[in-house]
Amino acid sequence: MEPLRFGALGAARISDMALIQPSRITGDRLVAVAARDRSRAEDYARQHGFERVFDDYQSVIDDPEVDVVYNPLANGLHAPWNLRAVEAGKHVLSEKPYASNADEARRVRDAAAAAGVHVVEAFHYRYHPVQNRVLEVAASGEIGEIVYAEARMLMPPPPAGDLRWDFVVAGGGLMDVGCYAVHGLRDLAGLLGGEPSVVRARAGEIPAHPGIDAWLAADMAYPNGVPAHIETSMTHGILDFSFRVVGSKGEVFAPAFVLPHTDDRVMVTVGTEQRVEELGTRTSYTYMLEALRRLIRDGEPMTTDADDAVVTMQIIDDIYGAAGMPLRPVTTLD
């Protein structure tokens, strides 16, 4: 299958794990990169094997050899640059969250549909066997009827100057890591009568960063009445990225559902018996790039498409509203 030809916007840290390392496995090309500092982009290109460097993001988008734009910029810059890429007729792999709020996500979705291109949200975990196995067990009846689901995305504090603490560029714990918890609970929608809705939510700030949810918790419910819960924090003592589905006979638990390359276990408990399955530490990003190639080259659908992104962003907006917090602002490019 013909390799994908990527252009990267910025020299972000996440790009190494999300794009550069998996592309060496999948055989996709790293065609172009740009950063705000050209010398940084040049160093980055030499280090990681990008074929050429540009002075600005638009030049990456306009490069005729680039067919997929990878967008790992600050949250508030996801949708504006996704739209620029769509306008140029390019497919997009966008880091999550896809946009700053649901209205902005709808604009990107509608523009992509009109242009006939794909904009995919990089919820990489969804393509790894760990999450697929969790869903298989939940659907199988082995743990009985589902009665509760919980996703936790808790992490130690980012540095004081980190963009995740910046409201203007759509920072916040729910936006950064909590969106995984929201998406994880959405994975169960097909088993529980539809998408979960927000029942109540609460959040806390720290004085130095008003408007930013340092921690947040939300109670949710599926249409059939099954309750669910998410917790997210950027002030936690340790990393806890876990996912649990409880049934009437037992439970299925993934201790690191969004980082399966660090812990690939799925733990199934029925009564007093527990079984531990190991699903492999091949990175979820590699699986995602392979799925992206099948989408673009063969038309095989991906779960985390533009329609999916709009639903996730609407739930995020609903959670912020229930918690009494403002929606993230939209960034306008000059």
Q: Determine, yes or no, domain membership for 319.
A: no
CATH number where 234 lies: 3.30.360.10
- Reduce the DSSP state of residue 74 to 3 states and report it: coil
Chain-centroid distance, C-alpha 272: 35
CB 56 within 8 A of CB 36: no
Question: What are the pLDDT digits (tens) for 258-313?
Answer: 999 999 999 999 999 999 999 999 999 999 999 999 999 999 999 999 999 999 99
Query: Does residue 32 belong to any structural domain of this protein?
Result: yes
The mean pLDDT value for 316-321 works out to 98
Summary count for the chain: helices (H), strands (E): 11, 14
For residue range 162-188, what is the model confidence (pLDDT) as tens digits?
A: 999 999 999 999 999 999 999 999 999
Residue 220 lies in a domain: yes
Assign 334 a pLDDT band (cuts: 50, 70, 90).
confident
> In the chain, which residue ranges form alpha helices assigned H by DSSP?
14-15, 21-26, 38-48, 57-62, 78-87, 102-115, 129-140, 173, 179-186, 284-293, 306-322
Q: How confident is the model at residue 125 (pLDDT cuts 50, 70, 90)?
A: very high
Distance from C-alpha of 333 to C-alpha of 41, rounded to nearest angstrom: 21
Q: Binning pLDDT at 50, 70 and 90, where does residue 1 land?
A: confident
Domain range for 114 is 5-124+286-304
Q: Are residues 263 and 292 in the same domain?
A: no
* Cα–Cα distance for residue pair 123/127, rounded to 1 Å: 8
Residues 59 and 141 in one domain: no
Number of domains in the chain: 2
Mean pLDDT of 183-195: 98
CA 266-151-125 angle, to 5 degrees, is 60
Q: What is the pLDDT of residues 51-76, one digit of tens each?
A: 999 999 999 999 999 999 999 999 99
Q: Do 161 and 270 belong to one domain? A: yes
Provide the CATH number for the domain around residue 38: 3.40.50.720
Average pLDDT in the 8-22 region? 95
Whether residues 107 and 150 share a domain: the answer is no
CB-count burial class (<10 Å; 0-12, 13-18, 19+) for 21: middle
pLDDT digits (tens, 9 = 90+) for 215-224: 999 999 999 9
Does 272 lie in the same domain as 142?
yes
Amino acid, res. 264: D
User: Is 224 found in the same domain as 133?
Assistant: yes
Query: What is the rounded CA–CA span in Å between residue 330 and residue 80?
Result: 9
